Amino acid sequence: MTYNFDEIIDRRNTGAIKVERCKALYGSEDVLPLWVADMDFRTPDFIFEAIRERCEHPILGYSMPPKEFYPSLIDWINNHHQWEVKRQWIGFLPGIVPGLSFAVQSLTQPGDEVIVQPPVYYPFFHVVKNNNRVIVNNPLKTVNGKFEMDFEDLESKITPNTKLFILCNPHNPGGRVWNNETLYRLAEICAKHRIIVVSDEIHADMVLTGHKHTPFATVSGDAAQISLTFMAPSKTFNMPGLISSSYIIPNEELRKRFVDFLEASELTGGNIFAYAATVACYEKGEEWRKQMLEYVQGNVDFVVDFLKANIPQIKPMIPEASFLIWLDCEELGMETDELFDFFAKKAGLGLNKGTTFGTGGEYHLRLNVASSRLILKKAMKQLLNAVIR
Ligand SMILES: Cc1ncc(COP(=O)(O)O)c(C=O)c1O
């Protein structure tokens, strides 16, 4: 079966944040919304079928995950990432961002230091700050157009109060797929200083052509023992509104501390539709995933080529994973706020402002290309007209 990703679907009046918040953020409902990291593609049919099938039963009572839930996840991770995960290591998590907050709350104390690598997905800051922990920034360096970790800076910032490191693997923004060597070095440093690593791997199943995802926990024995890994089908299969993710924690003591917190807060259960949809993704989603990634790769190539040929002042960081392009707009000669306004008001485009991702976000915007190619063509045309005007 060939899926149609060219289709344009009207998302107005569905509560879609990407659309509903445009007026408040960009000053108009008419901007093309290319920001929130969900896709404008139709959520695949096998997900709706699974939900419909569950609706055939007349009672939507309190339910456990179906018996296929964990085996389908274990098989998926083994087949896609060559990681043999044991059943007792894993459990349901009601969202990855909530999971990050639970990790902060269960594994650190108020006042402890938590390391993040900006520019990075902004809720990483919120879960630290809002729980009264201290953010320590270990900014990424840009080397030959790609993000690299700065280990010297990292080691210089670790103190006896540094307890947790939140890793984005692959990285958002920028779509960097961290390789074995980088993750191994990170694990060495964190193990030496007894720092726990939470590896957010929500983008793991969306690695683009020529790249391969490496789960942090697989790079060494230390990495497995000091880490919590969070994964989800939600972003890959465009169903983040259903809220379904999982934790994987090989170390028994760490797992106990985390799970005790979940249990004490009554946070261990999901909803029946999320369970059914998750099984459907892992059992039936491979063909859709492949075709979706091929289409996204085509969109990335289109935008990169268009900018190179027509607006070379804007330099895209070429993503190795996912559908988010990090645009370096410094050569347009505007401050970040001005740039954001220029995109919204002159080009009619709603993108994420770079500085929301912290240090290193100055002069940048993040562009979501998980839309119909026709929309992206329109967006690039509007941008070009604004720049040459
Ligand atoms: C790195 C990263 N983590 C987590 C999330 C969201 O996860 P969830 O919806 O499960 O809280 C996103 C969404 O953009 C993301 O990019």
Closest atom of ligand 1 to 235 CA is: 13
Query: Cα 69 from chain centroid?
Result: 22
Angle (nearest 5°) at CA 355 between 350 and 360: 125
Q: Give the closest residue (by CA) to ligand 1 atom 13.
A: 37
Query: Which domains does the chain carry?
Result: 17-43+286-388 (3.90.1150.10), 50-283 (3.40.640.10)
DSSP category for residue 165: E
The CA 385 to ligand 1 mean position distance, Å, reads 33
Q: 200 in ligand 1 pocket by Cβ < 6 Å?
A: yes
Q: 25 in ligand 1 pocket by Cβ < 6 Å?
A: no
d(CA 368, CA 203): 14
Closest atom of ligand 1 to 322 CA is: 16
Helices marked H in the chain — which ranges?
Answer: 17-20, 22-26, 45-55, 69-81, 96-107, 123-129, 151-157, 180-192, 221-225, 252-264, 272-284, 286-310, 336-341, 373-388
pLDDT at position 270 is 87
The CA 84 to ligand 1 mean position distance, Å, reads 24
- Mean pLDDT, consecutive 10-residue stretches, the chain (389 aa), reads 94 94 94 97 98 96 94 98 98 96 98 98 98 98 97 98 98 98 98 98 97 98 98 97 96 98 90 96 98 98 98 98 98 97 98 98 98 98 96
Residue 162: partners with Cβ closer than 8 Å, 6 or more residues away: 112, 113, 114, 115, 136, 193, 195
Q: 121 in ligand 1 pocket by Cβ < 6 Å?
A: yes
Q: 245 in ligand 1 pocket by Cβ < 6 Å?
A: yes
Do 284 and 1 meet the contact criterion of CB atoms below 8 Å apart? no
Considering the entire predicted model, what is its pTM? 0.97
Closest atom of ligand 1 to 37 CA is: 14
Do 114 and 107 meet the contact criterion of CB atoms below 8 Å apart? no
